[in-house]
């Protein structure tokens, strides 16, 4: 057993311990909050998933023809809250990517989008997960608000000649109009 020698309340060790706790505790709390939000988005546990507004999703891409391995596609995804209520926590996901695109590293998006991984009967995959209101609900989407996400993906050898790239309101959320919850390029 290691023991620290007591040197009074103003000792170097006590000061270091207080400084460590002061810097570590806020980071721990934020990590737990973000982790809980991400767990909800991943569908592992559910809060009330009925959104009392209409979420509209749009998607465009700058390059969709004559693609070859190594080409970069710049996407623009837009989410609009058509009202009537303010939207707190919700997520946009998709698609399940197996070998069609390389999994992004760093500096691939401008909207704090994440990737999540999974496994299926077809093998391992990754997918996009975007939280337009933020991971910690710090930026609610009021009626009429439009949030835009720009991201880029690099074509991998598994991309077929015809491929539909679809994103949409995560399937565990429902809103007031399911007709405009997905978009495809």
Share of the chain above pLDDT 70, in %: 74
* Residues forming beta bridges with residue 180, ordered by sequence position: none
pLDDT score recorded for residue 18: 52
| Predicted confidence (pLDDT) per residue in 48-106, tens digit | 589 999 999 999 999 999 999 999 999 999 999 999 999 988 999 999 999 999 999 88
* Residue 165, Cβ density class (10 Å: 0-12 exposed, 13-18 middle, ≥19 buried): buried
pLDDT surpasses 50 at 44: no
Nearest to 111 by CA among 59, 145, 148, 138: 148
Q: E strands of the chain, at which residues? A: 53-61, 72-84, 92-97, 114-120, 123-130, 146-154, 166-169, 182-184
For residue 120, what pLDDT band results from cuts at 50, 70 and 90?
A: very high
Lowest mean pLDDT among 28-32, 107-111, 173-177: 28-32
The mean pLDDT value of the chain amounts to 81
**Residue 46 confidence class, pLDDT cut points 50, 70, 90:** very low
Q: How many other CB atoms are there within 10 angstroms of residue 105's CB atom?
A: 8
Mean pLDDT of the region 125-146: 91
Domains of the chain listed by start with CATH number: 53-184 (2.60.40.290)
Instruction: Pick the more confident residue, 137 or 53.
Output: 53
């Amino acid at each position: 057993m290691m023991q620290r020698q007591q040197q009074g309340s103003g000792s170097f060790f006590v000061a270091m311990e207080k400084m460590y706790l002061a810097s570590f505790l806020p980071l721990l709390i934020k990590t737990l909050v973000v982790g809980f939000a991400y767990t909800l988005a991943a569908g592992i546990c559910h809060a009330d998933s009925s959104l009392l507004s209409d979420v509209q999703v749009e998607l465009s891409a700058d390059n969709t023809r004559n693609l070859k391995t190594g080409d970069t596609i710049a996407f623009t995804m837009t989410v609009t809250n058509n009202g009537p209520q303010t939207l707190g926590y919700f997520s946009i996901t998709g698609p399940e990517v197996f070998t069609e695109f390389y999994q992004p590293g760093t500096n691939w998006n401008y909207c704090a989008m994440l990737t999540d991984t999974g496994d299926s009967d077809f093998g391992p995959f990754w997918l996009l997960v975007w939280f337009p209101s933020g991971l910690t609900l710090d930026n609610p989407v009021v009626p009429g608000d439009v949030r835009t996400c720009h991201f880029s993906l690099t074509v991998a050898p598994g991309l077929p000649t015809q491929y539909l790239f679809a994103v949409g309101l995560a399937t565990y959320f429902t809103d007031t109009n399911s007709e405009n919850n997905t978009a495809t390029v």
